[in-house]
């Protein structure tokens, strides 16, 4: 009898010490694992839509800027992408660090972002614009308008007879005064709205057609920037 009681007690002890996480999958998170949540990279510097005055190794045409983002324990290698918005030149750098120095042109606008791969899935940061300060420059052109809708190569249902073009604008001098909107069925669209102050324009469309459009941003000093031509289809 004592032997039977001992065996029962041993079974209860083993089951009481078993891992209960599999029995409650709702709580089976990697809490305390030391890893960050599976998210993209949080950018730190250069700041979004601002003027970067913190370069080193200054020359009349170039400076070295330290790009910084928050480290993420899930990332083994980061890819830093920098686009010169004036020339369209895109450069990529791979690094294991979260502060990376790059020599770039002065008095020009840039776009940058950082991503990494985790289990073959890309994790991306936001996309930030900034101006790299230039010697003696008193005013800067607006950043190219960011196209919001329709997105590039988006397909619009054929039931639509009109589409609302939407974009956003930004400027380190904060002196945007107007937009010109170009729209048409060829890749060199004609102007349809001049010197408007809003960030949207409704256009008429017909099914079975590809449309092209772009936005020119103007500031109070007479500087301009172009969004580049985007397209969408109505099918």
37 band by pLDDT with thresholds 50, 70 and 90: low
Question: Does some domain include residue 20?
Answer: no
Regarding whether 184 and 110 lie in a shared domain, the answer is no
Same-domain check for residues 226 and 153: yes
CATH of the domain at 51: 2.60.40.10
Q: Is the peptide bond before 143 cis (omega within 30 degrees of 0)?
A: no
Residue 145 to residue 138: CA distance in whole angstroms: 21
pLDDT band at residue 24, thresholds of 50, 70 and 90?
Answer: very low
Query: Which long-range contacts (C-beta less than 8 Å, at least 24 apart) are formed by 221-225?
Result: 221/139, 221/173, 221/175, 223/139, 223/140, 223/141, 223/142, 224/141, 224/142, 225/85, 225/109, 225/141, 225/142, 225/143, 225/144, 225/145
Is cis: bond before 170, omega within 30 of 0?
A: no
Question: pLDDT value at position 12?
Answer: 37
Q: pLDDT of 53-100, one tens digit each?
A: 998 998 999 999 999 999 999 999 999 999 999 999 999 999 999 999
Same domain, 87 and 164: no
Mean pLDDT of 192-201: 98
- State the pTM of this model: 0.76
Strands 146-149 and 162-168: antiparallel
Within this chain, do residues 185 and 114 fall inside the same structural domain, yes or no? no
Same domain assignment for residues 185 and 122: no
Domain tally for the chain? 2
């Amino acid at each position: 009898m004592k032997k039977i009681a001992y065996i029962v007690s041993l079974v209860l002890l083993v089951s009481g010490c078993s891992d209960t996480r599999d029995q409650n999958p709702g709580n089976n998170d990697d809490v305390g694992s030391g890893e960050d949540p599976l998210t993209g990279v949080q950018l730190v510097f250069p700041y979004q839509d601002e003027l970067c005055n913190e370069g080193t190794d200054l020359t009349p045409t170039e400076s070295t800027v330290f790009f910084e983002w928050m480290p993420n324990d899930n990332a083994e290698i980061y890819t830093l992408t920098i686009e010169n918005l004036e020339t369209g030149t895109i450069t990529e750098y791979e690094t294991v660090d979260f502060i990376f120095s790059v020599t770039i042109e002065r008095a020009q606008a840039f776009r940058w972002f950082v991503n990494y791969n985790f289990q073959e899935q890309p994790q991306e940061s936001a996309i930030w614009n900034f101006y790299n300060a230039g010697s003696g420059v008193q005013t800067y052109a607006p950043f190219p308008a960011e196209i919001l809708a329709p997105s590039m190569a988006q397909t619009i249902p054929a039931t639509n007879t009109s589409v609302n073009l939407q974009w956003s604008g930004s400027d380190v001098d904060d002196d945007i005064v107007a937009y010109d909107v170009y729209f048409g069925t060829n890749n060199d669209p004609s102007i349809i709205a001049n010197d408007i102050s809003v960030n949207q324009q409704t256009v008429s469309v017909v099914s079975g057609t590809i449309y092209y459009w772009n936005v020119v941003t103007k500031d109070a000093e007479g500087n301009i920037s172009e969004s580049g031509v985007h397209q969408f289809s109505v099918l």
